């Protein structure tokens, strides 16, 4: 018995071969984590009109001025936070949903908690929920000139002029007042009585409150008068949290509490069983096995398989290959001789028609078991005749 060296690489060999890729992967992961950390820190002030953002699109300037005038500003990132911040309701609620995260029904429920409400650039659904008598009037060019107030709303009269980006129409609300008209009864600001006892202001220019535009025209006066009517101001910019709060329950919420611990325990058990019962294959052992199968058993077993599958073609081919090989040896033909050459040589030696020998050795196909047995007998007869002819020729 001889023992061959194992070709299966060990764990140590695999680690050495993969060392470069492991180091490369760890380095790439570190680079990605650093990049994410830097990008995350840089995006903390990237949202438009974020209260603590000093970027041109932020609103830190107007928030700071409001706080200097005694207004306490509370920042909310979800409807739940805004609802808690409103408290008893003696506060102003400012809502700017630039990405459309907040559902209109939630906006309507939230506005009921505040005394004064300022909604910046409300869309069609928001208008239907909080101001059914007002419709969207379309957008104005970004480089349009300043527009005069031309109304009796105190905040608009104090501002005198401002830019107008989005406009609104008053279609069915006699108590609504429009300010900063542009054309065709379209206004840049609409004020109407609010159920909380104060007013609901719809403002169509988000840039009027940003850091880079607050000093233009009457934007500063407009912001201070609209947002500073009360000592409390809730600055609410909806986020993805408002969408998730209305999302359907997750799979984890629907499954029973015992499912996750049971799955973890089952997984750990399976891993432990694999480690316990699993074993690495040892070296290959070359050993002569004392197994001998008689040729007769092999032939009979193959014959039974052919019989069971009605494989007459395979059976007769096997018999023919043996007969052709033996006849070729009797006739002294080379091992490279074709079956046609063997058939023709046998026909010449026996002085028979070549069609007969070709039919027996190649062409005839048995369709039934009886034809198979007949063709097998013909093969035996042909081989016997060739053998007898060769023996007779040798004696002569």
Interatomic CA distance for residues 78 and 106, integer angstroms:
11
- Give the per-residue pLDDT at 28: 75
pLDDT tens digit sequence for 64-121 = 999 998 999 999 998 889 999 988 668 999 999 988 889 899 999 999 889 999 999 9
Q: What is the pLDDT of residue 20?
A: 72
d(CA 59, CA 344): 105
CA angle (286, 289, 295) in 5-degree steps: 135
Query: Tens digit of pLDDT for each residue in 12-38?
Result: 666 676 677 777 778 778 877 776 666
Residues of the chain where predicted confidence (pLDDT) is lower than 70: 1-15, 17-18, 35-46, 88-89, 196, 244-249, 252, 278-282, 287, 289-299, 303, 306, 394-396
Q: How far is CA 175 from CA 159, 191, 229, in A?
A: 21, 9, 20
Q: List the domains of the chain with CATH numbers.
A: 60-244 (3.40.50), 295-395 (no CATH)
Q: What is the 3-state secondary structure (H, E, C) of 359-374?
A: HHHHHCCCCCHHHHHH
Give the pLDDT of residue 390.
83
The distance of Cα 247 from the centroid of its chain, to the nearest Å, equals 19
- pLDDT score recorded for residue 6: 43
Coil, strand, or helix at residue 304? Answer: helix
One DSSP character per residue, 125-150 reads HHHHHH-TTEEEEEE--TTPPPEE--
Quick one: which of 190, 205, 210, 96 has its CA closest to 141? 205
pLDDT of residue 287: 67
């Amino acid at each position: 018995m001889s023992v061959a060296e194992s070709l299966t690489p060990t764990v140590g060999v695999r680690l050495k071969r993969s060392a470069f890729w492991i180091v490369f992967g760890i380095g790439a992961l570190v680079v990605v984590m650093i990049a994410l950390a830097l990008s995350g820190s840089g995006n903390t002030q990237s949202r438009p009109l974020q209260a603590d953002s000093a970027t041109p699109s932020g609103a830190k300037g107007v928030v700071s001025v409001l706080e200097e005038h005694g207004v306490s500003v509370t920042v909310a990132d979800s409807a739940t936070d805004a609802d808690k911040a409103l408290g008893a309701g003696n506060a102003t609620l400012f809502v700017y949903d630039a990405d459309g995260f907040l559902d209109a029904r939630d906006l309507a429920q939230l506005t009921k908690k505040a005394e004064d409400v300022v909604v910046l650039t409300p869309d069609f659904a928001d208008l239907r929920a909080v101001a059914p008598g007002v419709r969207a009037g379309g957008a104005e060019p970004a480089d349009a000139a300043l527009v005069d107030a031309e109304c009796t709303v105190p905040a608009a009269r104090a501002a005198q002029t401002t830019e107008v980006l989005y406009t609104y129409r008053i279609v069915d609300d006699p108590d609504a007042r429009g300010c900063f008209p542009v054309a065709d009864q379209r206004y840049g600001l609409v004020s109407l009585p609010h159920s909380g006892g104060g007013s609901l202001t719809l403002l169509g220019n988000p840039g009027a409150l940003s850091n880079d535009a607050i000093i233009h025209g009457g934007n500063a006066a407009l912001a201070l008068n609209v947002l500073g009517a009360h000592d409390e101001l809730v600055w609410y910019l909806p986020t993805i949290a408002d969408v998730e709060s209305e999302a359907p329950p997750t799979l984890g919420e629907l499954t029973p509490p015992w499912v996750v611990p049971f799955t973890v325990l089952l997984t750990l058990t399976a891993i432990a069983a694999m480690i316990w019962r699993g074993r690495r294959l040892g070296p290959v052992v070359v050993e002569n096995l004392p197994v001998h199968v008689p040729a007769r058993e092999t032939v009979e077993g193959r014959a039974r398989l052919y019989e069971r599958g009605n494989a007459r073609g395979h059976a007769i081919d096997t018999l023919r290959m043996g007969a052709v090989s033996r006849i070729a040896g009797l006739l002294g033909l080379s091992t490279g001789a074709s079956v046609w050459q063997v058939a023709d040589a046998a026909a010449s030696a026996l002085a028979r028609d070549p069609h007969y020998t070709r039919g027996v050795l190649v062409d005839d196909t048995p369709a039934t078991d009886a034809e198979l047995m007949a063709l097998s007998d013909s093969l035996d007869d042909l081989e016997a005749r060739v053998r007898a002819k060769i023996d007779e020729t040798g004696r002569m």
